[in-house]
Amino acid sequence: MEVLGVLLTNPMDVYLEAELDKRYKLFRLWETPQDRRSDFLRSHAQEIRAVVGDTAVGVDAEMIEALPRLEIVCSFSVGLDKIDLSKCKERGIHVTNTPDVVTDDVADLAIALAIAVLRKICVSDLYVRSGAWLTKGCFKLTSKFSGKSVGIVGLGRIGKAIAKRAEAFGCQVSYVARSEKEGVGYKFYSSVVELAANSQVLIVACALTEETRRIVNRQVINALGPEGVLVNVGRGGHVDEAELVAALKEGRLGGAGLDVFEREPCPSEELLPMDNVVLQPHVGTGTWETSKDMADLVLANLEAYAHNRPLLSPVL
Ligand code: NAP
């Protein structure tokens, strides 16, 4: 029987890479310089039948066209914005992702970012390390998280997990989604501007699609206001980063906690010296435990496909 040829786009997880190498014929895309990748794909086009991508390097139309035998794409992510889904659909290519196993970590980080911004955790950590506590005395007062009104953009798996955590902090939770959710007990808004106007902390946790690109724009930021805090654990494309920088500079927004950026790994340089922002290098799912669970789900999907069994987390 022909061994499945699998293309791994990026070095996303050591365990996953080792297992793929053990079980299949593995091709490592990143080992080929960018300008020679089309040649690389062309020369292995008859062998590669599966691609494993992630949030950095997914599967675009060009890659799909270069791989005529591609049958399945297994994403090491829940977000699908780096996969050309319509092209996959057109070609009948299966797509899987890693839902549920990532939920807790991303929700934990969202709350951590909100608290880190409001309580100035990073700035005050530096205050101790630099010796300023000794020379300048007590640190300035910060702002409380418990009891604040929290607006969530996207009440899906991650949004609901954030809501549950925020509730435990005594926060009033409200949300926007494409449709009102029954039985959740949180206030639903049909407009993000209205949600922002009624929130002290706005947390973005929805899928990135053409509809949600730059869903946080100037109007939303202004509605959140000078005391408001924006947290983004969705995708960089959800926020108009230039508008965010301008609002932070002009004091129209209180602060921001960001795990994702429009251009990764290069956030707007103007964010770097700001002490009212907390920045993370897209590590929402970046724990040993979750990375292993994501890898196992990718492997289980590939195994199911190879043995003609139903996929575990099919998208297409
Ligand atoms: P999910 O369960 O599919 O939830 C997605 C949510 O987005 C749904 O509630 C959906 O609303 C909402 N949504 C879609 N289009 C919308 C629109 N036009 N306006 C408002 N809401 C809209 O997905 P999930 O598992 O919670 O993951 C959500 C996203 O988190 C992923 O797509 C990914 O981009 C991001 N993520 C980030 C990290 C990280 O490392 N920072 C890690 C994992 C995931 P409806 O329910 O009404 O359709």
Q: For residue 172, give both structure tokens.
A: 């009033």
Atom of ligand 1 lying closest to residue 206 CA: 7
Instruction: Give me ligand 1 centre to Cα 218, in Å.
Output: 21
Closest by alpha carbon to 298, among 17, 1, 4, 25? 17
Q: Cα–Cα distance between 101 and 292 in angstroms, integer?
A: 10
- Residue whose Cα lies nearest atom 37 of ligand 1: it is 234
Q: Taking all residues of the chain, what is their mean pLDDT, rounded to a whole number?
A: 98
Q: List, for residues 115-172, the tens digit of each pLDDT value.
A: 999 999 999 999 999 999 999 999 999 999 999 999 999 999 999 999 999 999 999 9
Instruction: Give me ligand 1 centre to Cα 135, in Å.
Output: 46
214 and 249 inside one domain: yes
Closest by alpha carbon to 169, among 117, 112, 224, 103? 112
Q: For residue 283, give both structure tokens.
A: 């590590």
Q: Cα–Cα distance between 181 and 287 in angstroms, integer?
A: 30
pLDDT for the residue numbered 168: 98
Closest by alpha carbon to 158, among 219, 41, 78? 78
Instruction: Give me ligand 1 centre to Cα 293, in Å.
Output: 19
Determine contact, residues 38/82, Cβ cutoff 8 Å.
no
133 and 240 inside one domain: yes
201 and 134 inside one domain: yes
pLDDT for the residue numbered 140: 97
pLDDT for the residue numbered 7: 98
Q: List, for residues 182-199, the tens digit of each pLDDT value.
A: 999 999 999 999 999 999
Atom of ligand 1 lying closest to residue 178 CA: 47
Torsion, CA 224, CA 207, CA 103, CA 93, rounded to 10? -170
Looking at residue 295, which CATH number applies to its domain?
3.40.50.720
92 and 222 inside one domain: no
- Residue whose Cα lies nearest atom 40 of ligand 1: it is 284
10 and 128 inside one domain: no
Host domain of residue 81: 5-99+289-306
- Residue whose Cα lies nearest atom 27 of ligand 1: it is 158
* pLDDT tops 90 at residue 104: yes
Q: List, for residues 234-270, the tens digit of each pLDDT value.
A: 999 999 999 999 999 999 999 999 999 999 999 999 9
Q: List, for residues 195-236, the tens digit of each pLDDT value.
A: 999 999 999 999 999 999 999 999 999 999 999 999 999 999
113 and 204 inside one domain: yes
52 and 77 inside one domain: yes
> Is 315 within a domain?
no
- Residue whose Cα lies nearest atom 35 of ligand 1: it is 234
Instruction: Give me ligand 1 centre to Cα 208, in Å.
Output: 7
pLDDT for the residue numbered 19: 98
Instruction: Give me ligand 1 centre to Cα 99, in Å.
Output: 10
> Is 88 within a domain?
yes
pLDDT for the residue numbered 131: 98
pLDDT for the residue numbered 2: 83
- Residue whose Cα lies nearest atom 20 of ligand 1: it is 177
Atom of ligand 1 lying closest to residue 81 CA: 34
pLDDT band at 20 (very low <50, low <70, confident <90, very high): very high
Atom of ligand 1 lying closest to residue 100 CA: 25
Atom of ligand 1 lying closest to residue 99 CA: 25
Which percentage of the chain shows pLDDT scores above 90?
99
Which whole-number Å values give the CA distances from 20 to 15, 252, 259, in the listed order? 9, 49, 28
82 and 121 inside one domain: no
* pLDDT tops 80 at residue 18: yes
Instruction: Give me ligand 1 centre to Cα 228, in Å.
Output: 22
Determine contact, residues 107/127, Cβ cutoff 8 Å.
no
24 and 36 inside one domain: yes
> Is 284 within a domain?
no
Ligand 1 site residues, Cβ closer than 6 angstroms: 78-79, 99, 102, 106, 154-159, 176-179, 205-209, 211-212, 233-235, 259-260, 282, 284-285
Best residue among 206, 235, 297 to mutate for probing ligand 1's pocket (most ligand atoms within 8 Å of CB) is 206
Instruction: Give me ligand 1 centre to Cα 211, in Å.
Output: 12
Active site residues: 235, 264, 282
Overall domain count for the chain: 2
